[in-house]
Structure 1
Amino acid sequence: MRTALSCSCSALLGLALASPAPRAAAADAAPVVRVATGSLSGIHDAKAGLDEFKGIPYAAPPVGALRWKPPQPAASWSGVRAADRFGPRCMQRPLYSDMVFRSNGMSEDCLYLNVWTPAKRKAGLPVLVYFYGGSMLAGDGSEPRYDGASLAQRGIVAVTVNYRLDVFGLLALPALTAESPRHASGNYSLLDMTAALRWVRDNIAAFGGDPMQVTIGGESAGSMAVSALMASPLSKGLMQRAIGESGAVLGNLQPMPLAEAQRKGEQFMHRVGAHSLAELRAMPADVLLEALGTSDSGGFDMTIDGDFLPRSPEAIYAAGEQAHIPLLAGSNSQEGYWKSLLDGKAPTPEDYRAAVQRQFGTSADEALRLYPGHSEAEVKASGTGLMGDQFIAFATWRWMDAQRKTGNAPVYYYHFEQPRPAKRDGSAGPDDGAVHSGEIEYALGNLDGNPVYAWTAVDRHVSATMEGYWANFIKTGDPNGDGLPHWPAVTAKDGGLLRQVIGADTHTTVDRNAARYEFLQRFEPDAHL
């Protein structure tokens, strides 16, 4: 019998328990709601017109014997539990300098979520559940760039979710597979997300949300997770729309086969000197983190475990077995950069050709036809395109293309082009293009939450456009609305596919990069996160 993912209350019972509690009369009183496990007291932000609930447990702490187990149900409590601060972030190494946390420390006890909702709300509001990026190694739902207040002011119930990371969220071992009733291991991160979505289904009505209008979204690893959640038989019925910003588990970012993941897990087990699963579970979390080192390479991957992912996402999408829901997905203009390809060399046609030949060997001529470099400007443009495609844009395209072919629902494809402006401290000028993760603050309306950059009137206009698209899609499954440039769903036209360019000049274009991606699919048929 499956544990946390199948033994929660039924949706009907959960909705009954999740009825809104009476609101206090005082304008500044803490809002109180009742969910299936007890009553919660949040924060009322009168200026923003919002109620916020932070650090809500959606599953039991995955500690001790529950380390590397599917998430278990959260315990009930008596009285009113304060939900006025973010819970701890999950165990992680300090790998990425752009992450700013408002969390209450770091702990294995980290399975908490946060809710922003209009204070004067009616029932039946659309819901966004957003999963942070960070290579499945780092990140947290408390990061200001993911704050849900701006979308909540547009009449949306916004939710951010913490999920286990790195070795705590993705370890696969033969011993873990053997003890599992489903004969699977790894993917605890994805099982956490699924448990959170079940919590949302059963409890979001308490916050004014409609459990049948749930959009899941995420960036980078969070976007990859969205594509996996759409594919999994355990989760695909828990959402009605999906947003993916730069990332998917198709193309060159497919999950690892279970046997390979188990070998990787055994190598880690030997590295830390554990002789049994019991010994590994008894080790302090800090010791496990230290053994992982300081590089983001060599981390653990999502796994084709036979349970959450019964087979490869490529096969699931090809067969049309994924969630048949509207999808909004795309990537940025500078996901990679030409300098990483040339490794310090000048952007000359000669140096570019040599770099492409080193990478593609006998396929170099075909690569150069698709990514030409006959001038310095062309070298910079093609080199940046190639690096971004190989990193994450190709996988995102593959997801978009598969969903439009077999998903039986509209797909909206974007290309984000707005470079971030100069830093306020003068240490760096504007970016050349839209870098990886650079769209998050624009899409979620959180430019003011990032004081590093000197945001301009153009940036604010782009953010209003992009957040408007996102909000409309969350509400209706269609990004179009009053005051926004028209965004057509993906259809074939003039030898390419319609795609929305989002930036200072937002407009529709015809994307003709399919030949590039088909080449990469042949040359790099399989890689991992």
Structure 2
Amino acid sequence: MRKALPCPCRVLLGLALALPAPWAAAADAAPVVHVDAGTLSGIHDAQAGLDEFKGIPYAAPPVGALRWKPPQPAAAWTGVRAADRFGPRCMQRPLYGDMVFRSNGMSEDCLYLNVWTPAHHAKGKLPVLVYFYGGSMLAGDGSEPRYDGASLAQRGIVTVTVNYRLDVFGLLALPALAAESPQHAAGNYSLLDMTAALRWVRNNIAAFGGDPAQVTIGGESAGSMAVSALVASPLSKGLMQRAIGESGGLLGNLKPEPFARAEQRGEDFMRKVGARSLSDLRAMPAADLLKALGNSDSDSFNPTIDGYFLPRSPGAIYAAGEQAHIPLLVGSNSQEGYYANLLDKQPPTPANYRAAVEKMFGAAHVDEALKLYPGNDEAEVKASGTALSGDQFIAFSTWRWMDWQHRTGRAPVYYYYFEQPRPAKRDGSAGPGTGAVHSGEIEYALGNLDGNRVYAWTATDRRVSATMEGYWANFIKTGDPNGAGLPHWPAVAAKDGGLLRQAIGADTHGFVDRKAARYEFLQRFESDAHL
């Protein structure tokens, strides 16, 4: 027999039932949704008008016998599962100092995603963004404040961040792994995780108010490279309708490894850790595998042409027009690299610059390179050295993706150039930057300046963020970034010997980009170097 509630509780309950619905909703227990595997309870943020669901399993823990296997379906549960905290981040080395985690520790059991959605939504009607973090496929996490989905959700977008396996856990290829695979494939587990997350979104996002037929995938750096691969892969076709790439493509100088080379890299690692078999390797503690990798990212694992997720190289797929024919918003930043890195900290003199360029391209190509990246005085060395360093790092691969999608993709492409430098640091340790560094656009694009307490954001920064987030939100909703109150952004098209592109910064405007000659040179050099 149920006991009667004590008198004070009965009074409070009566008050809650008597008050208007908005107050009652704010005081209610967590929001509840039903997904394929069971029932979830999340967090209701009454002030923001959002429901948040964190740490949702989209696949089984990839541990034990499932280490280095394609992701398997998550097990069903009974009762109501709390989705009120971020799941663990995937196993990773502490390689990057700019990452701030809100995750529940670190574990191999890490295949979780997070959803932010407007609290009062029409089921299955809202556009969706699925965002993949950067970090060279070595580090990162969907809990990082810079990827927080609340701001875009307040614009009517169901926003999802996804954890995926990293480093040796996400990219190891071995002959033994290929032998046990029905597809004779190995490696690319990171990308298969993302594909599994997109399938989960297709099957479940309507419960959160999202339209599974209006999904945009996006990411920065390694996340952007992954998006370029997802657009190319036959396994993910139909799982997204638009794509956003912020600095990076799995093309050009960042194309995936041949399978034989990836397998050799895997066998070298087996020998390094003293494993005599795949069973030995699967039995080793995850922490021991990380320790064996050391503290440098110079000898890391890479995506590969595995014959399954990537039946051919992304370049070949895009060239043949076999990728997904969907709108693409893509671009890079004004300071993706820095001249000092190119010069190995030598003074920025023309002689030092020429020596560095010749070391990079060889005597046969140095004069052509210097015509495209001239360095006749200190100012020119700094500008051209920064441009060359950034192109070689990631801007060239981004251009290669843009160029192929524009040529063969049969859908609009919007190409940006982000140039807003970060402001001074709050602690006074550094003044404002001179260019937009790699990853510097994330907080602006996703509306998360306030989540980064390192910098003293100015009114100009907030205006730039409002513009950039507005473009991103419009594109996610319609496939076109343009909208009321925003400077017009033309789709990529030939004009005056270049291509139309949008500069985003304190002065946001369209311009004609004429950097193709630089990238075509880098493409020729890349091809010649791998004959």
Give me the whole-angstrom Cα distance separating, in 2, the residues matched to 1:200 and 1:526: 42
Deviations 1:435-490 (A, max 9, x none): 00000000000000000000000000000000000000000000000000000000
Give me the whole-angstrom Cα distance separating, in 2, the residues matched to 1:385 and 1:62: 41
In structure 2, list runs of 5 or more residues that go unmatched: 1-21
The root-mean-square deviation of aligned C-alpha atoms, in Å, is: 1.4
- Give secondary structure in 1 for the equivalent of 2:98: coil
Matches for 1:82-121 after TM superposition, within 5 Å: 82-121=82-121
Aligned residue identity for 2:137: M
Structure 1 position 377, deviation (Å): 1.6
Q: Is residue 184–residue 305 contact of structure 1 (8 Å, CA) maintained in 2?
A: yes
- Give secondary structure in 1 for the equivalent of 2:414: strand
Give me the whole-angstrom Cα distance separating, in 1, the residues matched to 2:60 and 2:135: 23
Deviations 1:228-279 (A, max 9, x none): 0000000122000000000001111000011110000000000000000000
Give me the whole-angstrom Cα distance separating, in 2, the residues matched to 1:242 and 1:31: 30
2:436 corresponds to: 434
Structure 1 position 350, deviation (Å): 2.4
Structure 1 position 78, deviation (Å): 0.7
- Give secondary structure in 2 for the equivalent of 1:350: helix
1:416 corresponds to: 418
Aligned residue identity for 1:456: T
2:288 corresponds to: 287
Give me the whole-angstrom Cα distance separating, in 1, the residues matched to 2:58 and 2:516: 41
Q: Is residue 251–residue 526 contact of structure 1 (8 Å, CA) maintained in 2?
A: no
- Give secondary structure in 2 for the equivalent of 1:408: coil
Aligned residue identity for 2:222: A
Give me the whole-angstrom Cα distance separating, in 1, the residues matched to 2:521 and 2:484: 39
Structure 1 position 359, deviation (Å): 2.0
Structure 1 position 379, deviation (Å): 1.1
2:50 corresponds to: 50
1:403 corresponds to: 405
Aligned residue identity for 2:257: M
- Give secondary structure in 2 for the equivalent of 1:237: coil
Aligned residue identity for 1:168: F
1:467 corresponds to: 469
1:234 corresponds to: 235
Q: Is residue 496–residue 514 contact of structure 1 (8 Å, CA) maintained in 2?
A: yes
2:254 corresponds to: 253
Structure 1 position 50, deviation (Å): 0.3
Provide the TM-score with structure 1 as the length reference: 0.94
Structure 1 position 354, deviation (Å): 2.2
Deviations 1:112-156 (A, max 9, x none): 000000011123100000000000000000000000000000000
In structure 1, list runs of 5 or more residues that go unmatched: 1-22
Aligned residue identity for 2:47: K
Structure 1 position 374, deviation (Å): 1.8
Structure 1 position 527, deviation (Å): 9.2
1:208 corresponds to: 209
Aligned residue identity for 2:341: S
Q: Tell me the percent identity.
A: 83
- Give secondary structure in 2 for the equivalent of 1:252: helix
Structure 1 position 24, deviation (Å): 11
Structure 1 position 342, deviation (Å): 1.4
Structure 1 position 346, deviation (Å): 1.8
2:10 corresponds to: none
- Give secondary structure in 1 for the equivalent of 2:527: coil
2:27 corresponds to: 28
Aligned residue identity for 1:267: D
1:502 corresponds to: 504
Q: Is residue 254–residue 527 contact of structure 1 (8 Å, CA) maintained in 2?
A: no
Q: Which moved more, 1:175-184 or 1:367-376?
A: 367-376
Matches for 1:10-159 after TM superposition, within 5 Å: 26-29=25-28, 30-123=30-123, 124-159=125-160
Structure-2 change in CA distance of 1:24 and 1:129 (3 Å) = farther
Give me the whole-angstrom Cα distance separating, in 2, the residues matched to 1:357 and 1:60: 50
Deviations 1:156-187 (A, max 9, x none): 00000000000000000000000000000000
Give me the whole-angstrom Cα distance separating, in 2, the residues matched to 1:353 and 1:291: 38
1:4 corresponds to: none
Give me the whole-angstrom Cα distance separating, in 2, the residues matched to 1:342 and 1:254: 25
Q: Is residue 217–residue 242 contact of structure 1 (8 Å, CA) maintained in 2?
A: yes
Q: Is residue 254–residue 526 contact of structure 1 (8 Å, CA) maintained in 2?
A: no
- 2:517 pairs with 1:515: yes
2:18 corresponds to: none
Larger radius of gyration: 2
Deviations 1:471-529 (A, max 9, x none): 0000000000000000000000000000000000000010001110011011123999x
- Give secondary structure in 2 for the equivalent of 1:90: coil
